[in-house]
Amino acid sequence: MQPMLVLGIESSCDETGVALYSTAAGGKLLAHALHSQVSMHADYGGVVPELASRDHVRRLVPLLRQVLADSGCKLAQLDAVAYTQGPGLAGALLVGAAFAEALATALGLPTVPVHHLEGHLLSPLLSSRPPSFPFVALLVSGGHSQLMHITGVGLYELMGETLDDAAGEAFDKTAKLLGLGYPGGAALAALADSGRPGRVKLPRPMLKSGDLDFSFSGLKTAVVTRVRELTAISDEQRADIACGFQEAIVEVLVSKALRAVKVSGLQQLVVAGGVGANRELRRQLDAQAARARIAVFYPELEFCTDNGAMIALAGALRLQAGVSGKPAGAFAVRPRWPLTGS
């Protein structure tokens, strides 16, 4: 197969990402650019869908120009355009999909609609120490918490998932309960570093359930109860609660992930998604996986959150795997879309 140059576009939520990936010489990310809307949404305490969509419209063309300039490539050299089809915010997805399809139509190129979670689980392949197939993947983000058995590109089997809140969602909601800013997950993790380990004991939901599913809504409720028990919460108490919450959620994630690897009979674990950047999660996983002789792989920190690089990579790998790109033009987005049904 001839080398391909694939443009990737990500616009599923509050990050606008554009990237260029080449399959030549084993594959290489040539350039990527990202704009985060975090500061814009911070005043509202969360993502405002309409504002997110409008900002994607403003950012896509400048980011595309930046990627082309940084890579030294021209539009005429592209072979395909990949974009996030779902899941995500419908309006935000429509902006990226419409842009990608219009560009591909003008250039006479095929498009490759990509599942957002597929981009995340393949993102460690962009790192300096990539995994090889097959492996178990722990996908942990603001919208998803899943364990997957990955045999190859497009070959994904669900092993377990959250029954309610995602891990990242639990981080954000708990941060809000503690009066922290947006985005809450990173703020809570930072506060937890100054807390006293073991001081606040919180439940470990489904830790001994015997399956690989998660549940985090009860943990959030336990934090609500603990905060209400205090007539006034000091900075020290707030840090201790943050530390206790992080200890609980990390213990569950680590235990379930390592159990999934054992059940699979494999020796590789991939961790992807925004929560995968959590330092305590990485520390605990690395320590316990080393004792079990399991190799753990993470994306580079810049690729833990949403980005165009993972979409360009996923699109290129799908084309290499024999999945034909579709003719540009008509399209639809899929705000709700299970990965195993893609």
How do residues 306-316 score in pLDDT, each as one tens digit?
999 999 999 99
Q: Give yes or no: residues 190 and 114 share one domain.
A: no
Q: Give yes or no: residues 140 and 158 share one domain.
A: yes
Best CA proximity match to 321, nearest among 98, 102, 154 = 154
Indicate if the pLDDT at residue 342 is higher than 70: no
Calculate the CA dihedral of residues 64, 69, 70, 72 and round it to 10 degrees: 120
Q: Give yes or no: residues 160 and 220 share one domain.
A: yes
Instruction: Note down the domain range covering 171.
Output: 129-298
Q: Give yes or no: residues 282 and 179 share one domain.
A: yes
| Cα–Cα separations (whole angstroms), residue 103 to 14, 31, 90, 100, 219 | 22, 18, 20, 5, 46
Distance CA 245, CA 259 (A): 21
pTM attached to this predicted model: 0.95
Q: Give yes or no: residues 144 and 284 share one domain.
A: yes
Best CA proximity match to 299, nearest among 290, 310, 314, 288 = 310
| Cα–Cα separations (whole angstroms), residue 162 to 159, 169, 203, 245, 260 | 11, 11, 16, 17, 14
Q: What is the CATH number of the domain that holds 186?
A: 3.30.420.40
Q: Give yes or no: residues 165 and 228 share one domain.
A: yes
How is residue 40 written in tokens? 């814009």
Distance CA 20, CA 28 (A): 9
Band of pLDDT at residue 15, cut at 50, 70 and 90: very high
Q: Give yes or no: residues 140 and 40 share one domain.
A: no
Q: Which pLDDT tens digit goes with each residue over 87-106?
A: 999 999 999 999 999 999 99
Q: Give yes or no: residues 321 and 259 share one domain.
A: no
Q: Give yes or no: residues 237 and 153 share one domain.
A: yes
Locate the DSSP E strands across the chain. Answer: 5-10, 15-22, 28-36, 80-86, 110-115, 135-140, 145-152, 155-161, 268-272, 295-297, 326-327
Distance CA 305, CA 15 (A): 8
Q: Give yes or no: residues 222 and 135 share one domain.
A: yes
Q: Give yes or no: residues 151 and 43 share one domain.
A: no
- Give the chain's domain count: 2
Model pLDDT, residue 143: 86
Q: Give yes or no: residues 138 and 273 share one domain.
A: yes
Q: What angle do CA 40, 45, 50 make, to 5 degrees?
A: 55
